[in-house]
A and B are shown apart, each in its own frame.
Chain A
Amino acid sequence: MKDLKKAKNVYESIKIPEELNSTVNETINRKYVGKKSSFWKRRNIISGVLTTCLAMSFLFVFLVNTNKSFAVSVSTIPVVNQIAKLVTVQNLIEEDDTKLVKANIPAIQNTGNTDLEKRINYEIMEKMNEVLEEANKRAKEYKDAVIETGGTEEDYHPILINIDYEMKYSGDDLVSFLINKCETLASAYTEQFIYNVDLETGKELNLRDVLGDNYKQIIDNEVYKQIEERKKNSDNIYFEKGEGGFEGIEDEYQNFYINENRKVVVVFYKYEIAPGYMGIQEFEIPNDILV
C-alpha cells in the first residue's frame, strides 16, 4: 500500500534522542553488573505526567498459632478481648536531602504467648532496621549517581520510603498480618521476607502446613482458573507461560497470608506474573485451612 510507505517515511524520521544510547547502556550495565546491589539508576523523570511509583511492596506474614486451650478458656469470658492485635511501636519520620522515610512499624500483642511475641517483635524490628538501612544506602547511591552524571541538586527528588502494616486475620488461634514497604524511584527487585510462625511450637508455617500435601496442585489449579476468569476482562493482561507468566508455584514457601475468611491468599508481586499496571496479584484459595 503506497500510503503506508509514505507513513513509514514519517515513522522512520522519528528522531532518536541523544541519550537513548547512554540510557540503554546504563540500564544494561546497572542491571547486569550490579545484580547484587539491587540498584539501578532510573532516568531523571522531569515530566510531571511520569511520576510512576515503582511501588515495590513485600510482605511479612506471621501466622500466629496461639495456645488453643488457653484461648478457648478465656474466650468464655465475653468481656475479655483476647484477640491478638497489632500496635505501632515505632513511628518514624526521617527526612534529609536524599530521602523521606515514613515508617509505622508494628508489634504484635495479646497472643497469649509472650515469649513468642517477643521473638516475633524482635524479628520484625531487626528486619525493618535492615530494610531501612538498605533504603538509606540506596537513596544515597541514587543521589550520588544523579550528581555524578551531571545532574544538579535540583534534579534530584528525594526517594520516598513508606512502611506500614495491615492485619489480615485475627482470630483466637491464628493471626496473619503483613508489612508493606513502598519505595518510590527504587529498584525493580522485590524483596520478600516471609515468616509463618506457629507460636505454639515455634515452627514456621508454610503452605504444606495449611493446605496439606496436595498444596501445590490445589493452588496451581485455582490460580490458573482464576487467571482465566480474570482474563475475560480484556483490561486484565497476564504474562504468558514461557514469558514470565504463571507456571505453577515453586514450593510451599510461596507468599501467602490468611484473610478474614480464614482462607489462604496466595500473593504474587508486581511484575511477577503480569505487567506492572496489574499491580500485586492475589488469589484466594477456597479450601479450608488445616490449622
Chain B
Amino acid sequence: MSIARFWRETPRRYNLGGSKCTSCGTVYFPPRAVCPVCTHHRQSIEKMVPFQLSGEGTVLSFTVVHDAAEGFEMQAPYVLALVKTPEGPVLTGQVVDVRPEEVGIGFKVRATFRKLREEGRAGVIHYGYKFAPSEESTAAPPLGPAAAGPPTEAAARDRATS
C-alpha cells in the first residue's frame, strides 16, 4: 500500500477518529462526509463534526481466521471480529491477547494499538487499532509457579485458600 494512502488515515486508525452528524446525532466510523440517515441527507454536508470513539466495545460476531490475510501470516490463527461500540459504529478488527475459545458473541473488548502490517522488511510499518479483552474479560490466565521459581502472588493466594 502506498505510504500516503495509509498515512492520511492515521488519525482514524490510530485514534478511532470518526464523525458525528450534527443534524441527527448519528456517529460514524470511519468518518463520513454525508449522513446516510438524515432524510435530507444533502443537508448534512459540512455538518459532520469529528468525533472520537472511546474504544470500548462488544463482539457482535467473530471468526478464527486460519487462512490469513496477506501480512497476517505470522499471527494465524487469529480472531477477527465485528465489534459494536457504545457510540454506535461497528468496527472490523482482530481480537488479540486471547485464546480463540474465550471469545463469544457479547465478549467485551477495548481498542489496543498494534502493528497491522509491514511493507516488507525494508518498508514502512503500519499501525492501528485491534481489540483486546477488556479488563472485565479474562485476558490471560494466572501463571502457576515456574519450575523451581519463586511463587507469584497469585499462586501464593491460591495456596492460602486451598
Answer yes or no: do A and B interact. Answer: no
Interface residue ranges, B against A (CB under 8 Å):
none
